[in-house]
Structure 1
């Protein structure tokens, strides 16, 4: 992963990613967007923005009740299919994709947002090993499962696969090994998606530091949770619009001013090996 970019740090919607033109022009009309972890927080915000932009939505999460609540809210904007899904279960993901294609006939964008964190309070040797592995399972097996079943459909539409990652993927935070290891593994999986499915534009995106139920498992970090739920939603509308395909197959932070990244770093990014966590052999 390359050094920090020298760009303005953003914490809310800014002019470059203003979603209003997408809403007004219904620029995602005719597109089918599948979002996991869509029943609250970041996932719900992302779903709402795509719905406002005209996309048809497939929303997935474990809880039927919370999915129903989201469907009721955004169902007034667009057609929404809600499918209760545990991303760690391959049969459940296969059913989710079958239901998507049966309903809409295709798939254009996948936002893999389902994830898990745990309290960062003690060494992993002092934690329940089953809980440690559960975090890893949700964050990497869940990501793999949705990629496995969705990518063949995205190949057909030359669509987008977005892994909601974390700045923790590039850090070594004490007591957060399960989260950091699993999120880092997601970056490497993104490279295989790029190599094996070159028609698909794959992104690993840090959504920002946002106060959610998951992030508040570590309340000592609350002072850093200063970003809005709208920041990642608007960022994703921008990067899956087609305008920023040059940024595909990289890690990107919603906090980075996208316009400044384009102006200062586009040539470096498109030349390869920048904003990518990879092994460079001599």
Structure 2
């Protein structure tokens, strides 16, 4: 599948965000990003701001959120940025966060569910702290569900979309990484349900590539870093722009050249309903 093979895969022409920046494509749109206080989430927020979007940035750390906001406002002086502290596991807090976004901006067009945690690599099932193992699901699966639940009526009204940050790990069986693998596997299936139950809302489960974030470094997983946050940020911007709507309800990797995917595989993907969770014979 058209894999970008560079050890440092970069943004390629098909998803180049420059035209979206220049045209301020998202000028009338409101984008909510969870896990926005650092790493991939902060980069995604910056990309949307450069493309003209108004932003609701969500995380637990208010200081880091304000730092991201200041950085965006320095680069995009007219950016409209709202920061909201929230524990994505807490449905009452999520409800209030979405309501505050609507109260402030009057609408919601894009939900980027990026918040996640991961356990350190190397601890097998029988030795891991069961509460810590389950926290990966609480943040990375329940947290995504919570935001979809409260955001989807507004997204439906706007004809908007959900982008959830997934992982290729959801399709692997890497020993001692079961918390991440199983939760991302379930997340991919959750994303499939959004356009099934709300046909006017697009959804995408996006593998960002292996990016050197604080969380990735803490996990100590034996996986080489293969890209920088600008690649998944540009991928998310491309999908949210409506150019990749045919991929709605599916798993998408930032490491695929989406231009080649569309040219060579689109018909087969649609015909076979591929890039979704299913059992198949070889």
Match of 2:275 in 1: 275
Q: Would you say the 8 A contact 2:10–2:230 is kept in 1?
A: yes
Deviations 1:93-143 (A, max 9, x none): 001100010011110001000011011212121011111111121111111
Match of 1:185 in 2: 186
- What is the aligned length? 276
From 16, 19, 26, the equivalent of 1:18 is 16
Q: Matched residues in 1 for 2:63 and 2:165: separation?
A: 23
Match of 2:125 in 1: 124
Query: Structure 1 length as normaliser, TM-score?
Result: 0.94
- Are 1:226 and 2:226 counterparts? yes
Q: Which of 70-79 and 48-57 deviates more?
A: 70-79
Q: Would you say the 8 A contact 2:120–2:221 is kept in 1?
A: no
Match of 1:54 in 2: 52
Q: Matched residues in 1 for 2:45 and 2:272: separation?
A: 31
SS at match of 1:75: helix
Superposition map of 1:101-140 within 5 A: 101-140=102-141
Distance 1:7 1:132, change over 3 A: closer
SS at match of 2:117: coil
Q: Would you say the 8 A contact 1:85–1:96 is kept in 2?
A: yes
Superposition map of 1:69-88 within 5 A: 69-76=67-74, 77=76, 78-88=79-89
Query: Structure 2 length as normaliser, TM-score?
Result: 0.94
Q: Matched residues in 1 for 2:141 and 2:128: separation?
A: 20
Q: Matched residues in 2 for 1:266 and 1:220: separation?
A: 33
**Gapped runs of 5+ residues in structure 1?**
none
Cα-Cα RMSD? 1.5
Q: Which runs of 4+ in 1 moved over 6 A?
A: none
Match of 1:93 in 2: 94
Q: Would you say the 8 A contact 2:206–2:254 is kept in 1?
A: yes
- Measure how far apart 1:16 and its partner are: 0.9
Deviations 1:141-173 (A, max 9, x none): 111101111111101011010110001011111
Match of 1:257 in 2: 257
- Measure how far apart 1:271 and its partner are: 2.4
**Gapped runs of 5+ residues in structure 2?**
none
Q: Matched residues in 2 for 1:24 and 1:261: separation?
A: 26
Q: Would you say the 8 A contact 1:114–1:138 is kept in 2?
A: yes
